[in-house]
Amino acid sequence: MTDIKTASTNFANKQALAEECPEAYASNILGGQWTLVICSWLLEGKLRFSELKKRLPNITERMLSLQLRKLEDNKMISRTVYPEVPPRVEYELTTIGYELKPIIKALEDWGSRHKATMEEA
Amino acid sequence: MTDIKTASTNFANKQALAEECPEAYASNILGGQWTLVICSWLLEGKLRFSELKKRLPNITERMLSLQLRKLEDNKMISRTVYPEVPPRVEYELTTIGYELKPIIKALEDWGSRHKATMEEA
DNA sequence: GTCATTACTTACATTTTATATAGTACATTA
DNA sequence: TAATGTACTATATAAAATGTAAGTAATGAC
């Protein structure tokens, strides 16, 4: 997440796949460990950094910060800084970010069904 | 993918998240670099190892093997070995695997729209 | 007996992602 | 003047995912 090597095979593979397969492209954006959960919380409305942190009990500030920045770079969320002290920063889904909603719901649904399938065995 | 340390914080975090959030659970299953693309190909019908390899030009045999095994462990695909020489092995989506179809389609759709959004800037 | 074919596996190296811990900046409050 | 709260950043380290290169097993064709 910090410094990726654009000369690596891995990077090239990701790029190539993302260009050919929109589902791989989407996966690159949504694949982070906390990404979908953050988006899921933001579906309910904008939240401050500290509010997100509270909802993601085990995340470190660094990870939250990195994931938010990645989401912002991908235009999934917007970031609003209020000129106050102590600082206040709000994160909110953009239009394209919000359009993930049905997919997240479908994933939650499928996930639950999958879990049930696994427990059958 | 090979040896994960069940005592790590990372492992604990993933477990905890997966239990609470079905979307994180789903993401753990689908998050591999090639996973969705493999599933996408299998949506069109069962394929042999070598046929998959042909469709994923840059994947190494090791990665394909690992991803297929993970998918199999997660009951996403079934593996049929024909007692022939040289060997023939077919991979096919299971019921729960096939139920990913609408999600993959939705992701492809959303991915394309997202790409368009990014190119606007 | 050597070669070809297929579906792998193994050992190792590298890259990417995640965690741990400790800072920083700023204005208000005490 | 020192302490407080918020949203971070910096550096180090650990873990996970991916890639490289070389093997293996089995048997039918030559």
Best probe of the B interface among A107, A113, A117, A120, by most B CBs < 10 A, is A107
pLDDT given at position B82: 96
pLDDT given at position A58: 92
Edge-to-edge strands, sheet with B47-48? B47-48, B88-93, B77-82
Residue ranges in chain A whose pLDDT is less than 70: 1
Instruction: For each of the domains in chain A, give its residue range(s) and CATH number, in order of start.
Output: 31-120 (1.10.10.10)
pLDDT given at position B3: 86
Encoding tokens for residue A60? Answer: 């470190």
pLDDT digits (tens, 9 = 90+) for B11-28: 999 999 999 999 999 999
pLDDT given at position B39: 98
pLDDT given at position B1: 47
B14 close to A (CB below 8 A) = yes
pLDDT given at position A94: 98
pLDDT digits (tens, 9 = 90+) for B80-106: 999 999 999 999 999 999 999 999 999
Instruction: Give the nearest partner residue to A103 out of B33, B75, B110, using CB atoms.
Output: B110
Q: What is the ipTM of this complex?
A: 0.92
Average pLDDT over residues B31-60: 96
Residue B27: which residues within 8 A CB-CB, separation 6 or more?
Answer: A30, A31, A33, A35, A36, A107
Which nucleotides of strand D lie under 7 Å from a protein CB? 4-11, 14-23, 25-28
